Amino acid sequence: MKRRNKITIVGSGNVGATCAHLAALKELGDIVLIDVIDGIPQGKALDLQQSAPLEGFDCNIIGTNDYEASTESDLVIVTAGIARKPGMSRDDLLNTNAKIAIEVAQNIAKYSPNAYVICVSNPVDVITYITYKVTGFESNRVMGMGGVLDSTRYRTFIALELGISFEDVSAFVLGGHGDDMVPLVRYTYAGGIPIEKLLSKERIDAIVERTRKGGAEIVSYLKTGSAYYAPAASVIQMAEAILKDKKRLLPVSAYLKGEYGESDIFAGVPVIIGGNGVEKIVEIDLTEDEITALNNSFESVRKVLSKVNNLI
């Protein structure tokens, strides 16, 4: 009998717990919630499991503090780490989350050597790089979530501005998951119509800027935490693409080997994501201004990465 997919989610805070909820609703597989705090993953897993008769899913969900329960996972989602507070950048989380990422990666390699890994913890491009180096996995099996989240925020703001269905906006954001991210206006469409035909440059520039500050805007409201509904939905779109081999074309933080003129770095680029993880990085034509903006974003990632090279 074929076994279900096994999904381990490391970190059972708001993002991790919401990922577990969405994965269960989509019946992507059995779920293991792991956290260092005793009782939190156990309680959330049991609570979520008890919704199964009402929601109609048949996944088994367990919570634990022991990585052994994650053995032979098909997919590991890493959300462990501290969240941003008002006034903090994603990069301010670096030292704490980098050390956590190293320990998590060591356990992933030990217990699930064949897993695919999606990193969520910030600064995500750097945490993904650490995970890739420490696990020793092939680059197609390790990826970061940033681009999908940035793109869905961008699409949301455009739909709200135009007063149209959120589903009818297609767009993507490249570069690092930070203030230098690059929303590509030329490749942004509403119902197949370029948004430059529908909105003034002033309004588009305002939306681009709001997208770049999208996470900080939510942090400023929450005060004691950061976004989790949209990040979790972004992760699960990626997870579903892998586990169902959907061949989605999504902006994902992927390992570059010369694409876009960069190597040995993780950053958001368009990729085909399917049953073999990052199956192809898609290179698109960019203007000189777009190339400059993307290179600036890559450089921002490199600056942060240089601070943790001594750890790995």
- Identify the helix (H) or strand (E) that includes residue 162: helix 146-162
Cross-strand pairs, 116: 75
| Integer Cα distance of 243 and 214 in angstroms | 29
Q: How many CB atoms lie within 10 A of CB 200?
A: 9
CA-wise closest residue to 256 among 281, 286, 287: 281
- Identify the helix (H) or strand (E) that includes residue 272: strand 263-274
Q: What is the CA radius of gyration of the chain?
A: 19
Q: What are phi and psi of 236, to 5 degrees?
A: -70, -30
CA-wise closest residue to 12 among 27, 28, 30, 32: 32
- Identify the helix (H) or strand (E) that includes residue 7: strand 6-10
Q: Catalytic positions, please? A: 177
Cross-strand pairs, 294: none
